[in-house]
Amino acid sequence: MQDTRYMDAWIHVPLCKRGEKLYHYTTAEGVRGIVENREFMATKSDFLNDKLEFQYAVEVMERLTEKYIVNASLRGSFFEKLRREIDRLGIIAPVCGKDDCQEEGLSFYVVAFSKLQNNALLWAEFTDFKGYCLEFDYMKLVEGFQHRVFLHGTVIYDETEQMNGLLESLLSCIRNLQEGGMTDLEGFFEEDAEISDDSLEKLAKEMAVVVSVYAMFFKKSFFEGEEEYRFVFPPIINELGVVKPNFRLLDQIFLPYIMVEFDRKQKELPLESVMVGAKNNSDIAVRGMKYFLRSQELEIPVLLSDIPLRY
């Protein structure tokens, strides 16, 4: 689409448009925290439903190099330098199967929204149909997080789109370095390419940043039914250093998270409606939510999900 807005000229992660709505599926406790404390729980990236999803962009990049870089020696050398630089940046935690692995990296945290309201897959995944679906105004959400450093965008599930985005970025990096005097990169995709080690190193450094950012917004097609839009935050840092995360329990598993506060300068939380999960089918659930919202001076619609369930 011609009017699609992207995160960056080099990073083609689509952004929402002004006026669009985003939906957050959560529990009763989650609703309370968001409404009373104006805080969102952001889960550590490698504890999401696909714990290796930040690694997935590296896999896609490797497949791209295999497809387009025909000189096998150059391909191996470039990917080795790229992988080393990605590890140095530390945005993508390395895969580790050992109990004593120290793989903290930069510990990015994710608040997940969806473009879908009243979706059976998301009800089941996040609330077992007993929770709540909160509707937010997209632009007001972005404005409310402006006091924090963060990235946001639409998660990309289609591998062709993922590879195209990485390829365009690679071509842009090559052009940028050529303009800076590294003319040997002109033959990068040719069989008889002769690229200096310095040029290859600089290209790997630029692409490592690109891949690390894309890693936050690539997921396998298996998850495409979520239609996720995510906000990604670095860890909280104060004068003493990085603040340790909190932990919540889910099915007897400890999950690290941080709380991301919505800007207090915004007078109103951009919450536009609440939908009650289909298993909360008693009138008390809807009346209780309305009463709670009024106690917080929020007069917004409260709806009951109409998704039919089989017990």
What gap in Å lies between CA 259 and CA 276, rounded to an integer? 24
Answer yes or no: is 311 within a domain. Answer: no
* 65: in domain: yes
Which positions ≥6 away from 139 have C-beta within 8 Å?
18, 19
pLDDT confidence of 310, banded at 50, 70, 90?
low
Q: How far apart are CA 202 and CA 196, in angstroms?
A: 10
- pLDDT band, very low/low/confident/very high, at 135 (cuts 50, 70, 90): very high
Owning domain of residue 75: 21-235+242-304
Q: Is residue 10 included in any domain, yes or no? A: no
- 161, part of any domain: yes
Residue 288 identity (one-letter amino acid): G
Give the distance from CA 211 to its chain's centroid: 13
Q: Is 136 helix (H, G, I), strand (E, B) or coil?
A: strand
* pLDDT tens column, 143-193: 999 888 899 999 999 999 999 999 999 999 999 999 999 999 999 999 999
The better pLDDT of the pair 132, 90 is held by 132
Answer yes or no: is 5 within a domain.
no
DSSP 218: B
| 91 within domain boundaries | yes
pLDDT of residue 49: 65
| CA pair distance 159, 118, nearest whole angstrom | 27
pLDDT at 94: 56
Whether residue 3 is contained in a domain is answered as no
> Looking at residue 279, what is its pLDDT?
85
137, 221 contact by CB (below 8 A)? no
Distance CA 267, CA 305 (A): 29
What is residue 93's predicted lDDT score, i.e. its pLDDT? 60
Residue 8 burial (CB count, 10 A): 12
pLDDT for 34:
96
pLDDT tens for 73-126 read: 999 999 999 999 998 887 776 544 444 444 455 678 999 999 999 999 999 988
- Name the DSSP letter for residue 130: S
Number of domains in the chain: 1
